[in-house]
Structure 1
Amino acid sequence: MTSLDPVSAVNLTNCDRELIHIPGSVQAHGFLLVFARSAEDRLIVVQASENAAEWLRVSLNQIIGGSCANLLGEQLSSELRAEFHSRPDSRSSHYLRSMQLASGEQVELITHSLGERLVVEFERAEEHVSPARLNKTIVNVVAQLETIHDIGELARTITAEIHALTGFDRVLLYSFDEEGHGTVVAENNGGKLPGMLHLHFPATDIPKQARHLYLLNRLRIIPDVDYEPSPLIAADGSDEPLDMTYCVLRSVSPVHREYMRNMGTAASMSFSVVVEGKLWGMISCHHATPLSVPYVVRSGCDVLTRIVAAQISAYDRAANFAEAIRLKAVERDLLTYMTLEEKYVDGLTNHPDKVMELARATGAAFVLDDTCLLMGETPNEAGVRLIADWLRNTGRPDLFATDHLSSHLSAAEGFLDTASGLLAISLSQVHRFQILWFRPEMIRTVHWAGEPRKRVSEVGGTIRIDPRHSFEGWSELVRQRSEAWSAVEIEAARDFRNAMLFIVLRRAEELADMAAELEFTNKELEAFSYSVSHDLRAPFRHISGFAELLLIDESDKLTDKGKRYIEKITQSAQFAGVLVDSLLNFSQIARTKLTLRAVEMEPLVREVWDDVVSQEMRGREIEFTCGHLPLVEGDVNLLRQVWRNLLSNAAKYTSKRDLARIEVNAHRDQQQYIFSVRDNGAGFDNRYAHKLFGAFQRLHRIEEFEGTGIGLANVRRIIARHGGQTWAEGKLNAGAVFFFSMPIPENL
């Protein structure tokens, strides 16, 4: 036969890796048999705890491989076969009944099945407890629920009832936080053990595999911490180590037993408080001396614990539902503000209090491409940009939340007073649009049940981690953390992001439809203007030509007044011809395919300026300066038109100055170059600057300065096709500055 005890050599160095679900042994207050079905449907023992021989008063050789009928009688064998058939692979313990062994010992039978194995535990029966008393306790607790309205009062009630039912010296109810640390929220103490109300227990006290076990099997009992484990025995090579997850008698880790001794506890019992499938907390019972609790009492306590879990779930759901409704109303208001504004972002920035209320934040920030808008208490703009860049560059998800930002971003230690906590959403990975909510540092004192860090010691050359020896109050000042973001607040931010995406997409669809309509209309207008201007050129030439012939051939027959009329006709026809040519050029600009290449702006400007001087500024006193102009990528012929229009305009509107001053400059602004043409000419009223670049728009009478009103419209159209913008600034009789931007080329 083979012993199946895989943890006999545990040395506390690997608590988180200890296989506590297969300890390979049972506690001493009972024994365990594992049955398999034979071909004749008989139950045969394939594993047994070593102490079964003592309990059954037969040798282990007779037990292993023996039949249930021979060992325990035909009646029990029949009941167990029925149990096996009715609850295959049940993976949860089931109370069968009590029985008296041949030795006269009374035991309780608890079963569960694992695949092709039936596990039967025989636990020593304790004194009989009246079911009526248990029922009365449960009924009283349920009745009290109608008057209990918070978790604190509920916790105090349940610990008092379990203390009365079980007789344990100390009964605690503690809850777990997101990091797994436990806090005692209620205690009922008979005075024999130290009080622990409001103390904290570190997550390391309950390793992660133990937490998983508590979810699967909600009850754990240790009647005597100093029990002698009884190993499981199987026929050689006949079985794998038994998974004892659902066993009542499962032996516990040596680490935990040492922990109990350090705590001064000789017996313990615990019930898992499972809420919404998660381990919300534990009801933990401690006794200074060994103590056994009858199965029926444990079952009653388990029922009470499940009632408490259901009530906590109801409280949480009600609170979360109320908060979700409140935040949904805030979201609705914000979305309404967005839809009412031409720029939907203005709907948010104009209502900062609502934006912060959505996440119960003390500050918020919007980062939109190169714009950063702050509201409430936030880091300065540089700090906000640092956080936003970190979120973007480290591939954080579209929604990120933490109450300990400095643990992720060390630079955040510089603004703990405004941004210890961060909740952020991102709406686009292409065009930056991030919303960040902030919470300040919340300094608090945590009272631990003993110093939470485990000690490391060396025993026989082996380094081991010791369970804590002291549970006296130990205080720690917790810093660099904010109030944690609740699940409801995080979900509200997620919902808001999705709603904003819907609005943005809907607005984008509307703009796309408008753009398509405008594109179609523009194409029709361009085709129409091209056709009209082309067809009008000949008539205007004819009018001008025949008027000139009339002056030459019939001059002697015309009066002076008639000659003036014909001169006016000639001038108007010529101007109309120029206007038609300009209109034709304007329509052709949109139809011309761009031929992009590297363009040296400075030589181009000087070339165009020489042409302007020779054609339009002979005999005038001029002071012209051209700063260093960068290399750009563009269509050189179209850019030549831009400079021709701007420099010709500067020459025209400085014509009444004794000394004309014209300056051309450029500078870099982030990812673009800004070019400017400044003059000291007639200027304009800056209130009408937005009209300058429209077709046929003039801010001066034609009698003062001639022109068609098409030149600046051509400039805007050409620059727009190069991905830039145009604008102007001026003051009447004090000159003007015309600007245009060009993207900085990536490959030049």
Structure 2
Amino acid sequence: MAAPRRVDLQNCADEPIHIPGSIQPHGALIFLSDAGLVEGWSANIAAVTGREPALGQPFGALGLPDAVTELIQECSATMIAGEGPAMVAAVTIDGRDYDCVVHAHVHRILVEFEVRDVGMDEVAQFAIKAHSSIDRLRRQRTVDGLLETAVRQVREFTGFDRVMAYRFRSDDSGDIAAEARRDDLVPYLGQRYPAGDIPPQARRLYVLNTLRMIADVGYRPVSLLGAAREGAPDSEPLDMSFAVLRSVSPIHVEYLQNMGVAASMSVSIVVGDRLWGLIACHHMTPKRVPYSVRMAADVLAQVIASTVQGIEAREDAALVEHAAQVRTSLVESLLLEEDPLEALVQHGDGLLESAHAQALIVGQYGRVVCRGIDRALGEAVAAALPADANDILTYGCVKEWPDAVRPLLGKWAGLLGLPFDPPTDGWCVLLRTEQVEEVAWGGKPDKSMSGPMGERLTPRGSFDAWHETVRGRAHPWEDGILTHARMMLGELTRVSNARRAQTEATRAQLLAMLGHDLRDPLNSINMAGMVLERTDGGSNKGTLGKRIQSSSNRMQRMIGQVLDMSRIDRGLSLGIDLQPVDLAALACDMVEEARLAYPTIVYDVHATGPAFVLADSGRLGQVISNLLSNARQHGEPNHPIVIRLAPQDGQAVLDVANAGSPIAPETEATLFNPFKRGSLNNPRNRTGMGLGLYIAQQIVREHKGEIAYRHENGNVVFSVRLPLAPRQAS
């Protein structure tokens, strides 16, 4: 057999505990090939069978009791893909009682003889007690009550000094949720043990083989002897994952010794293929528990697992039912309510309850509505959300939040975000408060680097409660709530898409009306104004005609801006027809037009000469007109508007400047956005919708140019850069 590897700092995490190469000494073992030939045995086998087996010997020649031979034959006959479940028989050899356990694993048959110190009558009494315990467990309706009953019942029919029920968390640390103990022992109830106390390979074995017994922690292991099956180039270590006598890790032995434990039994509670919990039994002196009694405890653990599953299923079903009601009611409101944010806030209580959250933030189009949280903080949280999210977003602790918002969080630590309409920055955000937790660890949760086995990882020596205050964490988002959140996100997204489709259809109808039904009447009104102006007979008809023309022209411009924005939003070109245009002459024409309309405004034009660009003169005139209009509306009174044009580095640079204070940074960031808040109810621009700069930027971009804002020498300056026509550029 391959010698067991040394367990040290280098390979502790990969310790091969399923192939220890030895067994515990309160029994003996023989293992056979799937053909029934001897492949190996424990060094103490002769003490049981009275003879030393030979490599390759048929099991029928070993002189084993008939009951054992029958088990081996049945195991071999029922083996599937090299695996076979455990079968047990009570046998007596040379006046000594044994439980013989036979099972198959990895195409080998393992035959184990475990010494039994009590008679079958006493074992039967244990079984009766276990059956009564199972009935009591099935009647429990809460997890806490279930575990309390379990530890009392297991201690009663096994006789261990201490029986504890661990419940594992999502991070694999475990809390002692229930305990039954001898009165003189220090209580461990409520203590938490770190995930590292059960390394991954041990956790895997706890799921595969749900019961583990160490009769004497201070035992001396018995080595396995023999060789691999014939024809194999090297020895194959015996996989003892399901063996009852498997020797245990020296680190685990040391761990138990540091706790003052002399015998141990653990029974796994496996729920949904995950190690949900553990019944851990400790005794302060060596102790053997008959195999049949251990199996009763194992059945008890399966009943616990089934009951836990039932309790959690009922809780999940109640959550699902409530969540479904909230979703249905919310979707109905969203389909009827004009403002989706108001609908979300109206259903805030249901959303918070179904997610076990304490605050709600909903936002869309830059607007934020809060419930249970300060508005300023809600806006800061909304501003820190990622722009490209398309699935639920979760934070469980403060460290996971973006750096910019962490100092503002205060008591908040957990976030569950639903990006229901990314194009409009639509978010529904649920928050959980920080759960300040006083953790009583079972000893300081670390390991030292030296010990009785030399330079190696050593378990902690003290298991007195070691207290730690954990801050900055919220209660983790449960799987059921995350499932509900994804379903909610799907419903919200579908509603948002339906609303957007309806809005697009309505907008198309409105634009058609603006483009056709309104333009014709406006043209008629404009013509009537011109007639009134020309037929002025000394009355006020001429003034009235000019006013009608001015108003109708302004309405025409507004309609044109809306139609232009619609083309841009749909990804269409504005219809640019490029021809050589003298930008200087065009700018002078636009300034003269502005002087006639606003004779009190001083326009100061500086142009070094012609500046030809390839442009659409109508669209470029629209840009210049918009910049002159902005300068007139926002400039300081009694200050000139300065227009400068000069070639620079192969570009024509047109600056339009007006006296004024710098634009605030938050406003500057949205200067070229449509429907800016600053454009609404602006006393200097009551009819503006904020579309002018947005459209101007698109026009300049279609001319392969740039438009930008700067502030210099007390002036607000908008600068347009366009490539000079090839001939002038050269």
* TM bucket normalised to smaller: 0.7 to 0.9
Instruction: Name the aligned partner's letter for residue 103 of structure 2.
Output: H
Identify the range of structure 1 (165-174 vs 324-333) with the bigger mean alpha-carbon deviation.
324-333
- Corresponding letter in the other structure for 2:619: L
Who is 2:42 aligned against? 49
Kept in 2: contact 1:352–1:376 (CA 8 A): no
What are the Cα deviations for residues 641-663 of structure 1, in whole angstroms up to 9, with x where unaligned?
Answer: 47659979999xxxxxxx99999
Counterpart mapping for 1:352-371 below 5 A: 352-368=348-364, 370-371=366-367
Deviation of 1:234 after TM superposition, in Å, equals 2.8
CA contact (8 A) 2:192 2:440 kept: yes
Corresponding residue for residue 108 of structure 1: 99
- How far apart, in 2, do the equivalents of 1:52 and 1:744 lie? 96
Residue 33 of structure 1 deviates from its aligned partner by 1.9
Match of 2:435 in 1: 442
Paired position in structure 2 for 1:34: 31
1:609 and 2:607 aligned:
no
Instruction: Rate the CA distance shift 1:155–1:673 in 2: closer, same or farther, 3 A.
Output: closer
1:251-277 deviation line (CA, Å, top 9, x unaligned)? 110000011111111100010011222
Structure 2 counterpart of 1:212: 204
Q: Does 1:268 align with 2:264?
A: yes
1:6 aligned onto 2:4: yes
> In structure 2, the residue corresponding to 1:480 is in which secondary structure?
coil
Residue range with higher mean Cα deviation, 208-217 or 473-482: 473-482
Q: Does structure 1 residue 505 correspond to structure 2 residue 497? A: yes
Moved more, 226-235 or 215-224: 226-235
Partner of 1:734: none
SS at match of 1:137: helix
Code of the aligned partner of 2:336: L
Hey, what's the Cα distance between the residues in 2 that align with 1:492 and 1:364? 16
SS where residue 345 of structure 1 aligns? helix
Q: Secondary structure at the match of 2:114?
A: strand
Matched residue, 1:84: 76
Distance in 1 (CA, whole Å) between partners of 2:719 and 2:295 is 76
Work out whether residues 163 and 282 of structure 2, in 8 Å CA contact, stay in contact via their aligned partners in 1. Answer: yes
Partner of 1:640: 621
Relative to 1, partners in 2 of residues 1:636 and 1:669: Cα closer, same or farther, differing over 3 Å? farther
Name the SS for the 2:332 alignment partner: helix
Could you tell me which residue of structure 2 aligns to residue 235 of structure 1? 227
Partners of 2:163 and 2:378 lie apart in 1 by: 52
Out of 19, 22, 25, which is 1:22 matched to? 19
| Aligned-partner SS, 2:418 | strand
In structure 1, what is the equivalent of residue 294 of structure 2? 298
CA gap of 1:63–1:401, structure 2 versus 1, over 3 A, is: farther
Q: Which amino acid aligns with 2:209?
A: N
Pair 1:418 & 2:411 matched: yes
**Correspondent of 2:252 among 237, 249, 256:** 256
1:406 counterpart residue number? 399
Matched position secondary structure for 2:119: coil
Pair 132,120 (structure 1): closer, same or farther in 2 beyond 3 Å: closer
Is residue 164–residue 178 contact of structure 2 (8 Å, CA) maintained in 1? Answer: yes
Percentage identity across aligned positions?
27
What SS does structure 2 have at the residue aligned with 1:270? strand
> Residues of 1 paired with 2:339 and 2:135: CA distance?
57
1:340 matched to 2:333? The reply is no
Deviation at 1:427, TM superposition (A): 3.8
Q: Which protein has the larger Cα radius of gyration, Structure 1 or Structure 2?
A: 1
2:282 is aligned with 1:286: yes
**Equivalent residues in 2 for 1:694-705, closer than 5 Å:** none
d(CA) in 2 for partners of 1:98, 1:23: 27
Q: In structure 2, what is the equivalent of residue 245 of structure 1?
A: 241
Give the aligned partner of residue 114 of structure 2: 123
Counterpart of 2:463 in structure 1 is 471
Offset, 1:610: 1.5
- State the shift of 1:479 in Å: 1.6
Helix, strand or coil at the partner of 2:410: helix
Between the aligned partners of 1:361 and 1:465, the Cα distance in structure 2 is 42
The whole-number CA distance in structure 2 between the counterparts of 1:747 and 1:425 is: 45
- Counterparts of 2:40 and 2:264, CA distance in 1: 28
The answer as to whether partners of 2:420 and 2:489 remain within 8 angstroms in 1 is: yes
- In the alignment, structure 1 residue 312 sits paired with structure 2 residue 330: no
Matched residue, 1:701: none
How many Å apart are 1:366 and its aligned residue? 3.6
CA contact (8 A) 2:71 2:87 kept: no
1:670 matched to which residue of 2?
669
Indicate how the Cα distance of structure 1 residues 674 and 326 shifts in structure 2: closer, same or farther if over 3 A, else same.
closer
Distance 1:282 1:586, change over 3 A: closer
SS in 1 for 2:340: coil
Which amino acid in 1 is paired with 2:29?
Answer: L
CA distance in structure 2 between the partners assigned to 1:328 and 1:410 by the alignment? 35
CA shift for structure 1 position 287: 0.7
Q: CA deviation at 1:22?
A: 1.5
C-alpha displacement of 1:85: 2.0
Q: Does 1:480 align with 2:472?
A: yes
Higher alpha-carbon deviation: 444-453 or 505-514: 505-514
Out of 317, 321, 346, which is 1:321 matched to? 317
Counterpart in the other structure of 1:177: 169
Secondary structure at the counterpart of residue 455 of structure 1: coil
Encode CA deviations 1:514-545: one digit per residue, 9 max, x unaligned. Answer: 5566677888879x969x99xx9xxx99xx9x
Tell me by how many angstroms 1:470 deviates. 1.0
Aligned partner letter, 2:618: N
Contact 1:448 1:473 in 2 (8 A): yes
Superposition pairs of residues 510-529 of structure 1, within 5 angstroms: 510-514=502-506
Aligned to 2:172, the other structure's residue is in SS state: coil
Shift of 1:420: 1.9
User: Is the contact between residue 416 and residue 440 of structure 1 (CA under 8 Å) also seen in structure 2?
Assistant: no
Q: Compute the TM-score of the two structures, normalised by the length of structure 1.
A: 0.73
Unaligned runs of 5+ in 2: 568-572, 607-612, 633-637, 643-656, 676-680, 702-717, 725-730
**Cα displacement string for residues 428-476 of structure 1 (whole angstroms, at most 9, x for unaligned residues):** 666543333222222221112222222223789x642211111122222
Q: Structure 1 residue 423: deviation in Å?
A: 2.0
Q: Structure 1 residue 600: deviation in Å?
A: 12
**Equivalence for 1:593:** 575
Out of 179, 195, 202, the position equivalent to 2:187 is 195
1:487-508 deviation per Cα after TM superposition (whole angstroms, max 9, x unaligned): 2322222222111111112223
Q: Tell me the residue number matched to 1:451.
A: 444
Q: TM-score, normalised by structure 2?
A: 0.74
SS across alignment from 2:449: strand
Residues 44, 114 of structure 1: alpha-carbon distance in 2 compared, 3 angstrom cutoff:
same
Moved more, 501-510 or 267-276: 501-510
**How big is the shift at 1:343?**
3.5
| Corresponding position of 1:68 | 59
User: Structure 1 pair 387/718, CA: closer, same or farther in 2 (3 Å)?
Assistant: closer
Q: 1:160 to 1:720 in 2, by over 3 A?
A: same
Alignment RMSD (CA, Å): 5.1
CA contact (8 A) 1:196 1:449 kept: yes
Whether the 8 Å contact between 1:361 and 1:438 is mirrored in structure 2 is: yes
Give 3-state SS (helix, strand or coil) of 2:440's partner.
Answer: strand
Give unmatched runs, 5+ long, in structure 1.
Answer: 549-560, 652-658, 677-683, 694-711, 725-741
**Paired amino acid for 1:57:** G
Question: Aligned residue pairs: how many?
Answer: 649
CA distance in 2, matches of 1:24, 1:311: 38
2: CA distance, partners of 1:621 / 1:253 = 96
Give the letter for the 2:224 counterpart. L
Match of 1:166 among 155, 158, 161: 158
Does structure 1 retain, via aligned residues, the 8 Å contact 2:106–2:239?
A: no
SS in 1 for 2:492: helix
Q: Distance in 2 between matches of 1:600 and 1:479?
A: 68
* C-alpha contact 1:13 1:463 (8 A) present in aligned 2: no
Kindly provide the amino acid, as one letter, of the partner of residue 640 in structure 1: G
Q: Does 1:137 align with 2:118?
A: no
SS in structure 2 opposite 1:491? helix
Superposed counterparts of 1:529-568, under 5 Å:
none
How many Å separate the matches in 1 of 2:170 and 2:9? 25
